[in-house]
A = this chain, B = another copy of it.
Amino acid sequence: MQSPIADPPPLQPGTLRVVPVGGLGEIGRNMTVFEYEGKLLVVDCGVLFPEEHQPGVDLILPDFSIVRDRLQDIVGIVLTHGHEDHIGAVPYLLKLREDIPLIGSALTLALVEAKLKEHRIKPYTLDVTEGDIEDLGPFECEFVAVNHSIPDALAVAITTPAGTVLHTGDFKMDQLPLDNRLTDLRAFARLGEEGVDLFLVDSTNADVPGFTTPERDIGPVLEAVIARAPRRVVVASFSSHVHRVQQVLDAAHANGRRVALLGRSMVRNMTIAEDLGYLKVPAGVLVDFKKAGDIPDNKIVYMSTGSQGEPMAVLSRMVNLEHQIEVGEGDTVILASSLIPGNENAVYRIINGLTKLGANVVHKGNAKVHVSGHAAAGELLYCYNILKPKNVLPVHGEYRHLVANQKLAIETGVPEENTIIAEDGTVIDLRDGVAKVVGQYDLGFVYVDGSSVGEITDADLKDRRILGEEGFISIIVVVEAQTGRIVVGPEIHAKGFAEDDRVFDAVKPKISAALAEAAENGVRDSHALQQVVRRTVGRWVNSSLRRRPMIVPMVIEA
């Protein structure tokens, strides 16, 4: 669907409006806004990590423009779980209004509070657990346990007089979860019996056939690798993956090894998880990193971050010999993580670098050391069949994932006309069991770069791409205001273009000649003179060098 941009009609009484603000057409910055009789409920508020065509950007936020003028109408932000793509943008929304209540499970709230502390925000929170029902303004919210790659994830069923909406958040249906907390299909069945009018469902793995392997299958592999390891073991994974860390602790313990946590976020998250009882640390297993050096090499496991090749994380610093731990011959490094698209070359550089240092690198390409946190196609079929939703809105995914999920819904009997392929900003109204697209807001990307939010535009990124591909040539000429006569220059400076500035000797006379001609023709305006310089240099560089650098002419009147 390629929707024309069209503001929706005013919301009618008795109608629920649903606007996915982020997470459709992308994996990340998940956020959905629900509106009923003047009140807004937000579900999730995450960040998106930039791709290579968004250079230099730190984070991408959802576009808050549709709630910015209605902050007082927001009754709360429900957070389905504690991953960055669901909670990472909360500080930026709370900066607009600090007292919006946050609703989530204990772990989710602890993680978001730790994050908010860095932004010096102390939020109002409401701690909920599976089975709880809370009235948030006109929205009756029932929370349902779901299983994901972080503990304590919740789906939320939102009921208003307009009908019931079930939003899964991120989930999978591991039938043997490590913490025995299943995705609650009994609750899904009950909700289905009562009638789910609109089903917002995670699409991340909808194009993956079959079923996600249980997390539990990784334990024995980790244990076997650690048992065989002759020296130190480093395991890298996501810093919020409590169950993965649990399995590493257990495997280390079974092998008589101790574990030191590395990386600020790993230490912080696992401290929270242990305090709240989600991480069960076998007695005496954890050791402070500073004391780990005293432990023999074959008795230690380091649990670290950096499995995506992030340049500042522990693993990259080890490869660059910038970390206290010097990986060497006989060490074993396990990348117990997925390979997020776009990170491949960075991760392969890590693997090559560790191999060069003499380490044995174990990763999902050569051992079963990772499983996904999202439901694959086979699981989604179960889900649709148990729930039998009236209408389906696939969320959390690029276009291809949304369409794959839609096909699954249709295969289980949902009429095609009751499935909605939407984009960020699509406005869907629900009333009497009918869900309809009624408009499309024009929402953009909000870039965080350094301490700036939303100041970097797509035009700046286009400039960066040109600069990054081709470099620039700047030409400075000082001219006499009255006559246009050149007083100083042309001076030429280039960066990222060529090492040897002598290449420009050929074009300097051309610039002088072009400016002289323009002056003779009475051109005095410095903007017009700059265009003359740009054209002259552009033509020369294209024809003689077949390159297209950014050309920055500066004609200054003195």
CB distance from A375 to the nearest CB of B (A): 17
A474 within 8 A of B: yes
Question: Which partner residue on chain B sits nearest A455 by CB separation?
Answer: B498
Inside 8 A of A51's CB, which chain B residues have their CB?
Answer: 345
User: Are the CB atoms of B470 and A547 closer together than 8 Å?
Assistant: no
Question: What mask results when residues 478 to 513 of chain A are scored 1 for a CB within 8 Å of chain B, else 0?
Answer: 100000000111010101111110010000000000
Question: What mask results when residues 458 to 480 of chain A are scored 1 for a CB within 8 Å of chain B, else 0?
Answer: 01110111011111101010100
With A and B bound together, what is the CA distance between A476 and B493 in angstroms? Answer: 12
Question: Which partner residue on chain B sits nearest A57 by CB separation?
Answer: B469
CB distance from A401 to the nearest CB of B (A): 9
Q: How large is the interface on A (under 10, 10 to 19, 20 to 34, 35 or more residues)?
A: 35 or more
A137 within 8 A of B: no
A371 within 8 A of B: no
* With known contacts A455-B499, A476-B476, A478-B478, A546–B464 Cβ distance under 8 A: no
CB distance from A324 to the nearest CB of B (A): 20
Segment touching B, from A179-187, A237-245, A349-357: A349-357
User: Are the CB atoms of B403 and A355 closer together than 8 Å?
Assistant: yes
Inside 8 A of A489's CB, which chain B residues have their CB?
Answer: 556
Tell me how many chains of this kind the complex includes: 2
A456 within 8 A of B: yes
Chain A contact residues: helix, strand, loop or mixed? mixed
A554 within 8 A of B: yes
With A and B bound together, what is the CA distance between A496 and B452 in angstroms? Answer: 13
* With known contacts A355-B400, A500-B455, A341–B344 Cβ distance under 8 A: yes
With A and B bound together, what is the CA distance between A558 and B556 in angstroms? Answer: 11
Question: Which partner residue on chain B sits nearest A56 by CB separation?
Answer: B469
A209 within 8 A of B: yes
* With known contacts A348-B400, A460-B471, A476-B476, A452–B56 Cβ distance under 8 A: no
With A and B bound together, what is the CA distance between A491 and B552 in angstroms? Answer: 13
Inside 8 A of A451's CB, which chain B residues have their CB?
Answer: 544-547
Please pick, from B52, B345, B471, the residue contacting A467 in the complex, using a CB distance under 8 A.
B471
User: Are the CB atoms of B209 and A457 closer together than 8 Å?
Assistant: no
A342 within 8 A of B: yes
User: Are the CB atoms of A495 and B472 closer together than 8 Å?
Assistant: yes
Name 7 extra pairs, CB < 8 A, besides A476-B554, A491-B556: A56-B470, A353-B399, A464-B468, A464-B469, A467-B468, A468-B469, A493-B554
A-B contact pairs, 30 of them (CB 8 A): A2-B356, A25-B352, A51-B345, A52-B345, A56-B470, A56-B496, A341-B344, A341-B348, A342-B344, A352-B398, A356-B399, A451-B546, A455-B499, A455-B503, A456-B499, A459-B499, A460-B499, A463-B471, A463-B495, A463-B496, A464-B469, A467-B467, A474-B474, A474-B552, A474-B554, A478-B488, A491-B554, A491-B556, A493-B554, A495-B550
